[in-house]
Amino acid sequence: MRFGVRLAAAMERHGPLCVGVDPHTALLTQWGLPDTPDGLAAFSDTVVKAAAGEAAAIKPNIAFYERHGSAGIAVLERLLADARSAELLTVMDAKRGDIGSTMAGYADAFLRPGSSLESDSLTVSPYLGFGSLQPALSLAAEHGKGIFVLALTSNPEGPEVQHARGANGEAVAAAMVRQASALNDGAEPMGDVGLVVGATVGSAVSDLGIGLDGLNGPILAPGAGAQGAGPAELSQVFGNSKRNVLVNQSRGVLAEGPSLDKLRSAVREASDAAQAALQG
């Protein structure tokens, strides 16, 4: 089954929340866990249990596992297997972007069925040119996986590249959205090629002439909750495309750990809040 179909069903069933899994040092300390592979494993196991049945997806950030070397990657492999067993969709936050055989290698690592790092979807960077993503796009299409293309990120450095305009006057971010949208044409209920658009980018979508309404795919939206974006910001940024927005939250939810019950309640409340905000 295609990723867009599975994600739409998960969002319908559990609400539009994606829980970011970001086990950085400060958060592990806050949970009373050591900054070791064992602490990482305890953290990851708790988040998967709390999110299963309550959120549409989780988004593990690979950087926080890679910093522990092979032992950290082994923890990530177990997290992905546990999420699969729990029927919890995964968005691998790896932001991979390269050319040729290197991009094909990244795609094989995260999108090939049977890979130890197999995920339901992958974040990718198109800033070596949208065409450089083709190995990942092709493998994702072959195996029913999803791709989230970085389009408008909320970091302050992003605009110098994403807001720049080409010779034809089109903003770089707008070009990425246009090319992603073409790949979802005719898909029901939505396509498999999504975007990452920060919920805190303000008027950038309209200022740059970006047509999110025509994407017909999922939009992963960091920046809600603890980072300040509420109903008004979500409406300003996403407009009529709000029905396809997957709201990512990490800090505001993960602060409730290490108690599994409290964390599960926080996930449920965040999902309800995201649903209400997107309907506002």
Beta bridge partners of 245: 219
Alpha carbon distance 123, 31 (integer Å): 27
Beta bridge partners of 194: 148
DSSP string, 99-127: -HHHHHHHHHHHHSTT-TT--SEEEE--T
Q: How long is the chain?
A: 280
Alpha carbon distance 4, 246 (integer Å): 12
78 burial via Cβ count (<10 Å: 0-12, 13-18, 19+): middle
95 is an active site residue = yes
Residues 132 and 98 sit within 8 Å (Cβ to Cβ): yes
Dihedral of CA atoms 18, 82, 121, 114 in degrees, nearest 10, equals: 180
User: 49, 59, 95, 242: which is the annotated catalytic residue?
Assistant: 95
What is the β-pairing status of strands 57-60 and 146-152? Answer: unpaired
User: Degrees (nearest 5) of the Cα angle 256, 30, 91?
Assistant: 60
DSSP 244: G
Distances (CA, A) of 60 to 95, 142, 168, 237, 249: 12, 23, 38, 25, 12
Residues taking part in catalysis = 95
